[in-house]
A and B are shown apart, each in its own frame.
Chain A
Amino acid sequence: MTAPVTVLLLVVAAPAAIAMPLGADQGPGEPIAAETLTSPAVLENESLGPGTVEVTLVASAARMSLVPGVETDVYAYNGTVPGPTLEVREGDRVIIHFRNDLPEETTVHWHGLHIPWSADGSPFHPVAAGESVDFEYTIPEGSAGTYWYHPHPHHRTALQVAKGLYGAIIVRAADDPLRDIPEKLLILSDNRFFADGSIDMPDRHTPVGNIDFENGREGDVLFVNGQIMPVIGLRAGEVQRWRVVNASAARMYRLSIPGQELLHVGSDGGLFEKPVPTDEILMAASERVELLVRGTGQPGTTTVLRDLPYNRYIPQTRPADWSEPNDLLTVHYPDDAPVEPVAIPSTLRRVEWLDTTLVTTTRVMVLTQGFINNRAMDMARVDETTTLGTTEIWQVENLVGMDHPFHLHGFSFQVLDRNDEPEPYASWQDTVNVPAHSMVRFVVRFTDYPGKWMFHCHILDHESAGMMGILEVR
């Protein structure tokens, strides 16, 4: 990574209030809440050693209020939903003392991290109820970014995540070009409850369970860091860095702030080379984005972070209200004095393309409804084999009428093209959405870490039903 060479002052047009959709802003004179967004606790480092992060993580059953007025039986990491955030730096040695106090088997998958297979927390690494295990790994240089962790037991992932087991990982770089910009972590999730507060997660072979399987289960309650419609304060002129994690089982978020430009600066595997101005960002299940938001609203008004409608569904099971936008949080522009605009580097870091002349294999992954290459997951079968040091192109084809987000464990990749349209810039991803009847090709290098790595649809209901395969790296 290199220090920013030039500095670009981004001129973001101040939106006129009338540019905002009706209902998005709140007129002066109405009471405006102060910032209510809270962040999950950061896992406490128990190590005094330099470059070492040693933490304790416990999964257990708990009872808490997720929606007002009722309590819910949940699964929680260290007693909270979402779980605490694992904060580390590139190069850190990480030791996680994990204890499974759940009444069932679980695993902890460190989604997106490039770490040894033994620490992957895949279905091959079950932790029985009552057992403890230590995860140990080193955070690779150059991997600064936003990741997350969640359980991954065979057939039970969707259920355990729905019950509350998910948390964020932030990997920091020593030379983070945005280190002076205040940041916020936004973990998006959704859930569905019965009136008594219990989680509505029907059996797969019921009519509603069938629809949940087809679509991937969605909930009508949308959470940010476990809160419903929290408020973020954003002063005039202020720039904030938002790290957004899509921890939903299936829901895709088409993020926008009405009337406001966003600066998309990073994906699953960290920062882009250059900021990308945009009006909206589409996030598939398990994806992360980093974006910069500048306070351009009139002091004393509010707007919202909105999830715009996105048709990822087959018509048979498309929710009736799919075309309705969802509001995720309130952005409050306080009356405070404006802040001097900060300089945003025009170059964030170098992101080199992987050398595609080294590609020796193109692997075709055909996605249908619940199957990859026409097969359902079999733990005893290796679907694909490769050797260390190989560079490959994976051609992921979605044959059916709904989107499938494709995730590869252990190895981040670079999307080359989508339906033959070349990707405009290099970025690191571990999940890529493959829209209905389309094709995405990515390049990936299997540098190290042999093992049996999963690849799967990250609609958790599909994953848990077996829309998953095994790549053995030898």
Chain B
Amino acid sequence: MRGKGTAAALRFAIILMVAVATSALVSAYTQRPDPDLSETRLSVHEADQEQIMRGRQLVLEHACSGCHGGSLTPDGPAWLTGLTESLPGNEFLIGPCFTEQGAQPCFRTRPRNLTPDNLTGLGRFTERQIFNALRYGLRPGETPDVEITSTTPGQGNFPASPKYLAPPMPWVAWRLMPDEDLWAIAAYLKRGVKPVRNVVEDSEGPPDFWVETYTDVLAGNPRPVPPFPAAAERMPASGSPDMDQVLRGRQVAVQHDCGACHGGFSNPDAPGFLAGVGISPDAIEYPIGPLTEPPLSGPCSVQADGVACWMMRPRNLTPHETGIGGYTDRQLFNALRYGLRPSTTADVEIKSTVPGQGNFPADPDYLGIGMPWPTWRYMSDDDLWALIAYLRHGLKPVDNEVAASEAPPDLWAGMYTVENIGPYPAPAFPTANEVGGRE
């Protein structure tokens, strides 16, 4: 049973997911890649290098730059430099004003500078403080550099009066990443990114804004995740992909927050986990628009009169025929990697990102409004196949017919292009915004 705060937070998270997606696309739309690979390469220990590259991969696929600056790939300007005058759209309204113009309270969240600049970024914070921020939500500037061994305030170095990051951070699902992945993100931010001096004013909101809600949200998104198989899950049938792959897919699903829109958040014990609108109390249909031209804005309640508004309806991702049951693994792979709608895209291996070439449809039909999530195509092939194996073999089928999302038919056609969302694969490390690399 969740309280009022949780419901508000859940709705809020969904709103933000959309905001992140749209703002990432907006910045991608307005920025052009400017690769400069001529930078001097520094010698870095190979093990460190591997960790930094892992961190880069995670930063890419979790769309950190969607809020924190830059295009979706590390080659564009302002990569992770935080809110800048050139990217003003990354300042978010937090509170009822996000959905209702003028409603109070209304706070501005300003994404921080994540580059290792000493005064304005993460340069003077330790990797452990970054780890503690991602795992426990604790602000590096108000939390000492200590190992935390508890989640109870006042115990095991967890501060008695914890100071959390400004919403929407700490992103609850990201704390479910394995330790080594969080350390890898910290390593990349500290040692793989060039420092950029950019002062970002602190976010607004009362000091205790997040405390109660965050605690509430955490209760609904337990860490560790309940043992497999949880209520929404089943043991794979014999002959299915191996258990390791299914469990890896489960990890990918929870840490990428699929359930924030598709139901159940990161808790496979939650009713309707990943089963879509109508079954899961957490999966709501969501009005979005106007989408006709950049900047893509948020919910329709803040639209001007007469502007179209579309309903986004998160799909049923369980292996029932009303869910993903009718599609092949490869169609699902193509949906996640290339954004192509499984119901209208042939079951073929795609070898290009250019329409009309290498089996990429000449007239591509993309997923609905919230998807395709542009940065998930940067997940490794292994992770995408694992995620698909989990959905198909690790989830119980749930009968839930979800009506199609609404959207203008050509919504993504002009947007989901290399020019707008960046290249696949991502530019090689290091770009002009990065440091390191093997000699």
Contacts and interface: CB of A to CB of B under 8 A. Distances in A.
A398 B119 contact: yes
A58 interface: no
A80 interface: no
A313 to B, nearest CB: 9
B129 interface: yes
A317 B119 contact: no
Given A211-B207, A368-B142, A401 B202 contact: yes
Interface string A352-379: 0000000000000010111100111000
B119 A315 contact: no
Interface residues of A, number: 28
Interface in B151-191: 160-161, 163, 166
B209 A371 contact: no
Chain A, interface SS category = loop
Contact of B207 (A214, A371, A439): A214
Contact of A400 (B118, B141, B166): B141
Contacts of B126: 374
Contact of B204 (A315, A366, A374, A400): A315
Nearest to B124: A366
Contact of B140 (A205, A368, A397): A368
B382 interface: no
B202 A314 contact: yes
Given A210-B208, A315-B201, A439-B119, A369 B142 contact: yes
A399 interface: yes
Interface string A434-445: 001111000000
Contacts of A204: 161
Contacts of B303: none
Tell me if B's interface is mostly helix, strand, loop or mixed: loop
Interface string A200-229: 000011010011001000000000000000
B213 to A, nearest CB: 15
Contacts of B204: 315-316
B437 interface: no
A158 to B, nearest CB: 16
B10 to A, nearest CB: 23
A374 B199 contact: no
A214 B141 CA distance: 12
A371 B144 contact: yes
B353 interface: no
A371 B206 CA distance: 21
Given A370-B142, A374-B126, A210 B207 contact: yes
Contacts of B205: 315-316
Contacts of B141: 368-369, 399-401
Given A210-B207, A366-B124, 17 more contacts: A207-B208, A315-B203, A315-B204, A316-B203, A316-B205, A368-B142, A370-B142, A374-B129, A375-B145, A397-B119, A399-B118, A400-B202, A401-B141, A402-B202, A436-B199, A437-B120, A439-B118
Interface of B: 108, 118-120, 124-126, 129, 139-142, 144-145, 160-161, 163, 166, 199, 201-209
26 contacts: A207-B208, A211-B207, A214-B207, A314-B202, A315-B108, A315-B201, A315-B202, A315-B204, A316-B203, A316-B205, A317-B206, A317-B207, A366-B124, A368-B141, A374-B144, A374-B145, A375-B145, A376-B144, A397-B119, A399-B119, A399-B124, A400-B141, A401-B201, A436-B199, A437-B120, A439-B119
